A and B are shown apart, each in its own frame.
Chain A
Amino acid sequence: EDKVVQSPLSLVVHEGDTVTLNCSYEVTNFRSLLWYKQEKKAPTFLFMLTSSGIEKKSGRLSSILDKKELSSILNITATQTGDSAIYLCAVEAWTNAGKSTFGDGTTLTVKP
């Protein structure tokens, strides 16, 4: 059975800090790893990482996939209060198209 573990479960930082969120996974026939941001509503997509695309960056957010260690990190630099959210990691396998397995998320709180 596919498994995703995120750490830490929660994190409190101050504006301007840099944070690193972790995601480790076990999945047979890995296809992709996805990061989502969830504020007080539905999750929204951030990044998709695959064997052919192991680094993504958008503004202050960046993510790297480590295929050897079966893990990924999400970095946020110069954090702002608007970054406060739950960050979710999910994986998909080629053999189970359409079926995503999510971790429990990391709750990030950025204080002014």
Chain B
Amino acid sequence: NAGVTQTPKFQVLKTGQSMTLQCAQDMNHEYMSWYRQDPGMGLRLIHYSVGAGITDQGEVPNGYNVSRSTTEDFPLRLLSAAPSQTSVYFCASTPVAGGRNEQFFGPGTRLTVL
């Protein structure tokens, strides 16, 4: 199993550009989430999904869109990048089955918006 994979690892954007951060998991986990982590801070939830076709907003959803057409994939779209979106982005998945709800994290994408 590859676990949770994210691409790209690094990205530099100019203000106003759009892009999609890719996330995939091969563990058949039901739940998936996107977080951002700024220096000195914990993880803040952007969007999450409890299954294919179902998404919901987290704490900091503005400026981001998500969709979940399959169990495996959960892409995050930045609509019009702003310097305030400079951060490290983590995707995570959660098994749920068997009462487990620990999250498995991808390696992260470091995004810089100029």
Contact = CB atoms under 8 A, between A and B. Distances in A.
Interface string A64-96: 000000000000000000000000101010000
A43 to B, nearest CB: 5
Interface residues of B, number: 28
A88 B90 contact: no
Contact of A98 (B31, B105, B106): B31
Interface string B35-69: 10000111111001110000010110000000000
B101 interface: yes
Contact of A43 (B45, B50, B96, B105): B105
A82 B93 CA distance: 26
B108 A48 contact: no
A42 B9 CA distance: 12
Contact of A99 (B30, B45, B100): B45
A97 B56 CA distance: 11
Contacts of B106: 42
Nearest to B38: A104
Nearest to B44: A102
A39 to B, nearest CB: 12
B94 interface: yes
B102 A42 contact: no
6 contacts: A4-B42, A44-B105, A92-B101, A99-B33, A99-B45, A104-B41
